[in-house]
Structure formats: C-alpha cells, structure tokens
Amino acid sequence: MSISAQDVNKLRQMTGAGMMDCKKALTEAGGDFEKAIEILRKKGQKVSASRSDKEAKEGSVFVKVSDDRKEAVLIALNCETDFVAKNEEFQALGNLIASTAFSNKPADKESLLSLQAGSLTLNDKIVELVGKIGEKIEVSEYVLMKGEAVVPYIHAGAKLGVLVSLKGVNGKDVTDAGKDVGMQIAAMNPVAVDEKSVDKSIIEKELEIAKAQILAEGKPENMVEKIAQGKLNKFFKESTLLHQAFVKDNSKTVAQYLDGVTKGLTVAEFRRVLIG
C-alpha cells in the first residue's frame, strides 16, 4: 500500500523516530499506527541489545527532594556521549525517572525500571530513546534517602551528585550547611561518615599496608602495631567526613563546623554518585 508523507510525518511526531524508519514501520504495519509504533519499539529493543557491550561513561545526575526536605532521590542516567547527555529528550527522561522514583519510592533499581510512566514502563521509555538516538542508555545509580534533613548537592555539569542526611537539626533550616557538606563530599570523596562507619575490610587493608611499610622501613617488630595504629588514625582523619578539615575553613573539622551551625548537628549518612 502507499504510505503518504503526511502519515510518515505524523508517526515521526508521535515517536521522534527518523523519517525512513517511520515509513518502513508504517509499510510493514499496513498503515496501522499502533502496530507501527510497536515495530519501532521493537527496533529500539534491537538497538538497545546491539549497544549492550558499549561503555556508557557520560550522562547526568538528577535529583528530586520533598518540600519538607526529609526525603530525596538521586538518579544517575548514563549514555555514551556528552552530546546526548545534553540532549533535551535525554534530560526529560532523566527528570521523569527521578520524579517517578520519588513518587513511588521503589526498593531498588530493578523495581524502579519496572514502574509505569504513562502507558510504558521506565525501562520501555529508555528502550524507546535508545532506538531513536542509537546510543546505550542506562540507570547506573538509584539512591533513596530519608532523614531529619536531606540536602542535595549537584556539582557543575551535573556529572557528580551528593545526598546528605543530617541529624540533630533542632528545627533549624540547615540547607546551607547541608550544601557545604555536600561540596566537601564532592571534593574530598570521604570513605565514610566517621571511623565507626568505615567498612572492616577497608580498615584491615589499611593496617596491612601500614604494617608492610613499617617493616620495609626497618622499624622494630615490637613497634609495628603501635605505629600502624597511628597510621590508621591518620587515615581516619583524612578519609572520614566528620574528621576531615572543612574545605571552606581548614582551621576546623567538618564535625566542628556543623556543631557551630547548631549544637549537636551532624551527618547521619551520605551518598556520592559520579558519572563515568
């Protein structure tokens, strides 16, 4: 059957797919728009599969925060090129995923992708855009955080995002303090909030490295444990958030800065998400 240019353009407007793809889909579907859309979606799935071995190291982070700042979601949506990351449709998809996640609060990334967004799941939405632009697109991170005050920090370029949950708020607006701490986390990449929350495997590794260095320096074996503990304490000071020197004022630690904002204010948890 003959497919008019008007019908091809109509399908293109409905789907965003290329003119030739739309014409082929309509021809295959016998002019049925619903079937043509399904054909294009299947084409998207094929494109997605063909890009599955590609590296998606570009993209953007997206955040959604409740009005009372007691909960937030952070999404990392990856693609292959920075050009696509800046694309309006890519940005719209990222915001849609973040909003849907915030509204439904799924338990994990797999549950998130299965959520409905209109007539399609989020996974299908991703597949559609993959089919249109021909690049791999994937949600690499999904973070849901709750607390007395949850503050986001998005670094310039939206390649790095941080969520900080503060406690000991005492009814005060601690947004600025949360952003300062978010900037600290973005810049200094701490391994944990404090020494109590450092993973045991990290502590064991640091002690192992320290002992090897001490023995290589020819220090007496009976001094190894004591010196290694000193090195570990230095690691805690440099690599855990609350003990780090505050980037905006090196004369105080992050813990001292927060306590100065309001007595007892501290960090409950944080997440740092980097694209790439």
Residues 58/44, Cβ–Cβ less than 8 Å: no
- Residue 237 forms part of a structural domain: no
What does the pLDDT read at residue 142?
A: 98
User: Distance from first CA to last CA of the chain, Å, rounded?
Assistant: 48
- Number of domains observed in the structure of the chain: 2
- Residue 140 forms part of a structural domain: yes
Residue 8: how many other CB atoms lie within 10 Å: 21
What does the pLDDT read at residue 185?
A: 98
* Residue 21 sits in the same domain as residue 63: no
- Residue 83 forms part of a structural domain: yes
- Residue 171 forms part of a structural domain: no
Residue at which a domain ends, from 94, 122, 146: 146
What does the pLDDT read at residue 53?
A: 79
* Residue 111 sits in the same domain as residue 127: yes
Residue at which a domain ends, from 96, 114, 146: 146
- Residue 223 forms part of a structural domain: no
CA-CA distance, 78 to 60, in Å (whole number)?
7
Instruction: Please give the angle made by the CA atoms of 272, 229 and 215, to the nearest 5 degrees.
Output: 110
* Residue 115 sits in the same domain as residue 74: yes
Residue at which a domain ends, from 146, 181, 214: 146
Low-confidence ranges of the chain (pLDDT < 70): none
Secondary structure of residue 256 in the 3-state scheme: helix
CA-CA distance, 226 to 231, in Å (whole number)?
9
C-alpha pair distances (Å), 22 with each of 2, 30, 204, 234? 13, 12, 59, 62
CATH number, domain of 23, equals 1.10.8.10
The owner of tokens 């986390």 is 185
* Residue 95 sits in the same domain as residue 23: no
* Residue 73 sits in the same domain as residue 35: no
Task: Tell me which residue range forms the domain holding 44.
Answer: 5-50
Residue 199: how many other CB atoms lie within 10 Å: 10
* Residue 74 sits in the same domain as residue 26: no
State the Cα torsion 142-133-48-135 to the nearest 10°.
Answer: -70
153 forms bridges with which residues in the sheet? 162
| pLDDT, tens digit, 9 for 90 and up, residues 212-256 | 889 888 888 889 999 999 999 999 999 999 999 999 999 999 999
What does the pLDDT read at residue 236?
A: 95
Q: How many residues does the chain have?
A: 276
- Residue 199 forms part of a structural domain: no
The Cβ-side half-sphere exposure at 276, using a 13 Å CA radius, reads 10
